[in-house]
Amino acid sequence: MTVKQLALPDLVAECVRLGIPGVGLWREPVQEYGIEATAALVRDAGLAVTTLCRGGFFTGDGWEAENRAAIDEAAVLGTDTLVLVSGGLTPACPDLPAARARITEAIGALAPYAGEQGVRLAIEPLHPMYASDRCAVSTLDQALEIAEHFPADQVGVTVDTYHLWWDDRAPAAVARAGAAGRIHSFQLADWTTPLPAGVLNGRGQLGTGAIDLPAWAALVEKAGYTGPVEVELFNDALWARDGVEVLEETLEAFLAV
């Protein structure tokens, strides 16, 4: 998503050229290119699919079929992790406790199926500024409380610095998640202000914002995480530029932090 302006074959070729060993994919471009075709593309390039983004949105209608399809797609792509953005308030779930109860219930309905497909569900707490319209799970503690109802090889969490950096309880939650083998994804983005309207597409390039990213990486590593580290920048300014240039710059920023 950081370089969504790149078509999948270009993205894959550039990752290979730059020595980037894996890539997190989003469902929409994968569906456009074709799921089997994408799987063949990355496999032939020797590239790992680190995660598929995203399942979730459990508080609305149709979540079960949609999420089963996402699990199937993850399995075809050969990634072991489906990231979940759980959904906000809806007529069916008009307040946060109702939304969180529905999210727990929905994940319970999906977890065994995901396990059968070799796909782990990674509940992503989103920043509290998204609590009403995108994700009623706002802290790593909340995500863990939901995940802990289920086996760790079926349900865990996504640790994304952009969403969690402000929370003084997050470091303890990272340690707890790591000890339980529940950190299924680790994503980096920096926090920059002012936030743009809608607050979706203002994630900062690594090293340009408020977050101590090396400290977060050390925290997650100390918690026992050995998986891939993704960079996920939703940023209108980056998307408006040449994708290869942004990818190169992002790799440089990644190595620097």
Binding site for a second copy (CB under 8 A): 89, 95-96, 100, 127-129, 131-133, 138-139, 142, 165-168, 191, 193-199, 209-210, 212
Nearer to a second copy, 165 or 225 (CB): 165
Nearer to a second copy, 14 or 216 (CB): 216
Quote the least distance from Cβ 145 to a second copy, whole Å: 9
Nearer to a second copy, 67 or 216 (CB): 216
Quote the least distance from Cβ 126 to a second copy, whole Å: 10
Quote the least distance from Cβ 133 to a second copy, whole Å: 5
Helix (H) or strand (E) holding 203: strand 203-204
Quote the least distance from Cβ 191 to a second copy, whole Å: 6
Nearer to a second copy, 139 or 250 (CB): 139
Q: 200-204 long-range contacts, Cβ below 8 Å, gap at least 24?
A: 200/234, 201/234, 201/235, 201/236, 201/239, 202/234, 202/235, 202/236, 203/162, 203/232, 203/233, 203/234, 203/235, 204/233, 204/235
Residue in this structure with the two tokens 């950081």, named with its chain if needed: 2
Nearer to a second copy, 65 or 197 (CB): 197
DSSP string, 42-63: HHHHT-EEEEEEEEE-TTSSSH
Quote the least distance from Cβ 139 to a second copy, whole Å: 8
